[in-house]
Amino acid sequence: MFRMQAFRSPLTTSEFRERLERSLTRLGFLGAFQGHVYGTVSEDRFELWTPGTTRGHVARVVGRIDKRPKPTSGSLRFVPDPMMGLSWFVLIGGVVLAVASQFLATSTWVRIGLPVVGLLGIVVVIWQAQVEYRLLMRHLSDVAQVELGDSRL
């Protein structure tokens, strides 16, 4: 899911950018809403994100558009959001702390509860990333007729 992928669209490059830009929701006064797709589109790049839950998003799609006018092609990658990095460190640190507490504490709750809570947090973040990936790829397919090709390194 996080590796670079080639994409193609039968649309011209200008039509591809125009359709993608029109499909994006502008940020409102109260912020982002679940189910809406936000982002930016420029001459040779685009970046899309959508909240997978009411609490926000964990990753985004970053794409590069080749300079050929038709058909549109390029590459895209689903990447973790930079602001989400702090949450990942907290979750991983929580699991490490929970495992370390196995040797320091005698309380059963600490020995069992902390690792379970940490692992549940990690599972929820992975699940949310998969939901967002599917939503964004479906949006690209519906709006700009994007088809994924072979992976690139």
Tens digit of each residue's pLDDT (9 = 90 or more) over 59-101: 888 999 988 767 888 999 888 776 665 666 666 777 777 677 6
Q: What is the pLDDT of residues 108-149, one digit of tens each?
A: 766 677 777 777 877 887 888 888 888 889 999 999 899 887
Q: What is the pTM for the complete model shown?
A: 0.74
Backbone angles phi, psi at 24, to 5 degrees: -85, 140
- CB within 8 A of 52, min separation 6: which ones? 34, 58, 128, 129, 131, 132, 135
Distance CA 33, CA 122 (A): 23
Interacting residues of 152 by C-beta distance below 8 A, sequence separation 6+: 3, 4, 5, 6, 75
